Chain A
Amino acid sequence: MDTLTIAMNSSEAHYRPQPYGEIDTQFIPAHQWPLALIELALSRGIEEHKLLRGTGIFREDIGTHCFQLTPQQCFQLISNLQKYFYNHELGFLLGHELFTPRHTPATIALNSAENLHAVLDILVDHQAQIMPLLDARCRYEQEYLVIYWQDAYGADANMVFLLEMMCTALNSLTRSHCTEPLPWQFHFTHNKPSYIEQYDVHLGNRVHFSSHMNAMSVARDYLYSPWKSCTADSLLFRNSVADPTSTAFTFQRGFLAETYTYLQNNIQRNPNLEQTAADFGMSSASFKRKLKKHHSHFQAQYDLARRDLAIMWLNQKGATNEQVAKKLHFYDVANLRRAFKKWTGKLPHAMDELG
């Protein structure tokens, strides 16, 4: 249960940054999903030299089990794909493959979980092994369980691809293990794309665009409904040898995700750049440089953290504008309203659930 509850403002304790990965940390095992992606692309007729251009990846290296990629290399690979592959199918296709039990012990565990709750526990605890580029946060909201997807390493334009992949992966996993497909609702911040057919087929008809969150939600009742007992697939792979590269990670989250977590958890202290940098153990200039390396800056992260808190408090806790303004250290309600309008395009009272 602990992974499903977000440490909110309940305790006044100072949240200290946890170890984090960076955009140039080598830790993503190349023979797992990156290899699956490369093979998928090659089988769809993309030329190898175009696909791997600028990534610093060589096809021969990937076969070896100890070759690891940086998030930056993965991003370059995905942008190359999107440049040369027109019909936007690959993210969804990779999503279907992502959780098949052949990849890692973590995916084998996912496939032998007894219910959705167990799956989400594994997903959150083993993010770094399963899909480190997006940070998953689970939260209960009224009758719903909501999974928020957040940029962990500065994915920039590749965010849409990653979201399509992760949402399809989870949808596909639940579809193959539940007796009936779960009625997932999907919310995306991007506008309705021209290739809407892919969403129709791979995610279903409960997809909302131009939302202010990247999230998927389902009624809480489904969390504990038992799944089909292990499928033949997962039994096949259950006894497979443990993967040598999947040793325990020294960190769980990416730098951006950790910054966001830090800001949310310390909101009562009204964190600023200097204090945050000091807590991360570096000078303000270094911290700024690091944020820039991840295609972001302090104000953007701070706004993001405050926006999400404001939405949560307004929707969930039924907080008034005055309370939210005070908690987020706005001078008065008018300032909050202005900021809120800037973040979400709407006024605080116009917020309905997830938009």
Chain B
Amino acid sequence: MLKYHKWKLFFVAMGANLVLIASLAVADVKPFAEINWLDVISEGGAATLALIWLGLILHSRPAGRVTQYLSMGLSGIFLAGFQDFLDEFIRFPATAHWDHWIESGCMPIGLVLLTLGIYHWHKEQLRINEQLRKRERLFREHRSLDFTTNLSGADYLRKQLAQALNEHRESSNTLALLFIDVDNFNHINRRYGHQQGDHLLQSLSELILLSIRRNDLLCRYAGDRFALILPNTGRVVAEKISSEISLLVQHFAYKTFTQDESLYYSVSIGTALTCNDNIAQDTAEKLIERANLALLKAKEVHRTAVQQAA
């Protein structure tokens, strides 16, 4: 990311350089005994930290208005800190006032700009949250994100499921858990390599995300198996959604990297619902187990259908 921000870094470096040169030009260096080392450490530390924040922000953000505000704000804070730091080594003549101006002027301007930046960042984040809505629910953990599909993994699924089950205990609605498994997935890995297989999974995850509701959550369980949590959903709706997803995948013409070839895949889906009678005993583990079993049955049905067709 840093290469998009060369000019910003250049200006910060220039600014610091100018301050240093101007200071050395007008003032004398303090003798060693007069230097207050505690101040040096605290003021130098503040400037260094501001610089680190600037680096992290620039390294993680694309260019744009929010980045502009944040970087200008942090640059101001850094320059004010830097001037403060130089004060410790240099005695300014009483006639020079500009050093005070830099110190006391840059800081408030920087803080205001930073505040503006954070405010817009907040706005931006709300928009991004909306986009991520079907991938995460009210809790973010970047370490559990799956590298291939950018969906959350099985750990996140278990946590979310436990939480959703808690919520459902109070209401009379049921919750549905769908396990979606790609039929014959090994075929693509064996024939085209695992990168192609990864890409297929990624495409399928986007496809499924398009066809689910706002409050549903899609996770990658493991391998070629996805898990879909459908809160407040009964059997009829769960089966409708499940058949919609199968139809969607069947009609999806997946393109391989190298040839103008379209591959068609199908999925088997296993559904598990919470039972209202003894919801107290329904744990995330049990629900996952039931969905897995249902999936195995669905696979069996799929296999016999294929054999009969052949």
Contact = CB atoms under 8 A, between A and B. Distances in A.
Interface string A35-54: 00000100111000000000
A205 B153 CA distance: 19
Given A43-B195, A97-B194, A233-B191, A205 B296 contact: yes
Contact of A198 (B148, B181, B198, B222): B222
Interface string A91-121: 0110011001000000000000000000000
Contact of B190 (A86, A100, A197): A100
A205 B147 contact: no
Interface in A200-217: 200-202, 204-205
B222 A179 contact: no
Interface residues of A, number: 27
A92 B223 contact: yes
A176 interface: yes
Contacts of A233: 190-191
Given A205-B292, A205-B293, A233-B191, A197 B147 contact: no
A180 B299 CA distance: 11
A308 interface: no
Interface string A154-184: 0000000000000000001001100110000
B225 interface: yes
A96 B186 contact: yes
A87 B296 contact: no
Contacts of A194: 155
Contacts of B190: 96, 100, 176, 233
A58 interface: no
A195 interface: yes
A141 interface: no
Given A96-B186, A175-B186, A201 B307 contact: no
Contacts of A195: 154, 222
A3 B266 CA distance: 41
Contact of A201 (B148, B224, B293): B224
Interface in B274-309: 292-293, 296, 303, 307
Interface string B162-198: 0000000000000000000100001101110011001
A201 B189 contact: no
Interface in B224-245: 224-225
Nearest to A100: B190
Nearest to B223: A201
A176 B191 CA distance: 12
A153 to B, nearest CB: 27
A303 interface: no
A18 B188 CA distance: 42
B146 interface: yes
A200 B292 contact: yes
A88 to B, nearest CB: 9
Interface string A64-89: 00000000000000000000001101
Name, among B146, B186, B195, B222, the residue most crowded by chain A CB atoms within 10 Å (CB to CB): B222
Contacts of A93: 194
A63 to B, nearest CB: 17
Interface in A14-65: 40, 43-45
B216 to A, nearest CB: 20
Contacts of A180: 303
A202 B191 CA distance: 18
A228 to B, nearest CB: 12
B161 to A, nearest CB: 12
Given A89-B222, A96-B190, A205-B293, 11 more contacts: A43-B195, A86-B143, A89-B223, A93-B194, A175-B186, A176-B186, A194-B155, A197-B222, A198-B223, A201-B221, A233-B190
23 contacts: A40-B194, A43-B194, A45-B147, A87-B146, A87-B153, A92-B223, A93-B194, A97-B194, A175-B186, A176-B190, A197-B154, A197-B221, A197-B222, A198-B223, A200-B225, A201-B181, A201-B222, A201-B223, A204-B296, A205-B292, A205-B293, A233-B190, A233-B191
Interface of B: 143, 146-148, 153-155, 181, 186-187, 189-191, 194-195, 198, 221-225, 292-293, 296, 303, 307
Interface of A: 40, 43-45, 86-87, 89, 92-93, 96-97, 100, 172, 175-176, 179-180, 194-195, 197-198, 200-202, 204-205, 233
